Structure 1
Amino acid sequence: MASGGGIARSRLMEERKSWCKNHPHGFVAKPETLPDGTANLMVWNCIIPGTEGTDWEGGYFPLTLHFSEDYPTTPPVCKFPAGFFHVNVYPTGAVCLSILSSAWKPSITVRQILVGIQDLFDHPNPASAAQDISYKLFKKNMVQYKKRVREQAKQYPSLV
């Protein structure tokens, strides 16, 4: 195994321990389980809850973090299901957020990524739009935009 991969895995093990000790309410972040029952530290399945008092409230949105062997030098790829409705989410589901690209620092934690994406739900960045439909509604028809967000939240109820 390349030494870089060892660094990525040891950092991810630390992230996992830290998350298990203390994580924000309603959030889930855990490495995927492989068919043999072992954990794949390079892919994490996460849930980001919609913030109370916003149109996102009541939704528990599935997000996958894909880490490379270069982590934490490079950020993970963060993806919602394809077609996720948000100004800063590409049609593929990939999240467009500065801390996942130009503003990435190796010190950024899984917790910071997930909280940052949750914050993005209700504070999209139209200057960095990643999909047309939500961007146009956000700019021209806020009532319809908010309605779509609330409909999407209902598609992702709590599994607990």
Structure 2
Amino acid sequence: MPPATVCRLRELTPADYAAVITLWRSCPGIGLTEADSYAGTVAYLARNPGLSVVATDLTGAIVGAVLCGHDGRRGYLHHLAVAPASRRQGIGRQLVEECLARLRTAGIAKCNLFLFADNAAGRAFWLRCGWHTRLDLMLVQRATT
């Protein structure tokens, strides 16, 4: 794999929202809901300061992004995406490794993520990165309203 051509990784901030939501909308396999509104994303970033990351190219344009947070015990990654033209350069892996390093600094030793069952490309990426599927667990969900 050739080295990534990003100029840097940096913290995702509220000012990045327009570029990041456009990126997420352009990537199949990213499930967006009302929680991904500007207000919802800003609240997530405030609750998890310094954990979410963007990758920028040499012009400063965002070419990758991931939301990262934790509940005090486990880390969580959401919406990892790399622009199609910037894929296969190690950017996704760099984003993940940066988030894991930030979680370790926060004292979080394990990280989980949610992946749609029909997202074969996403599953292949995560397996290549050393993640594994837990078949002994089931996601159970209920709205609070």
How high is the TM-score relative to the length of structure 1?
A: 0.27
How high is the TM-score relative to the length of structure 2?
A: 0.29
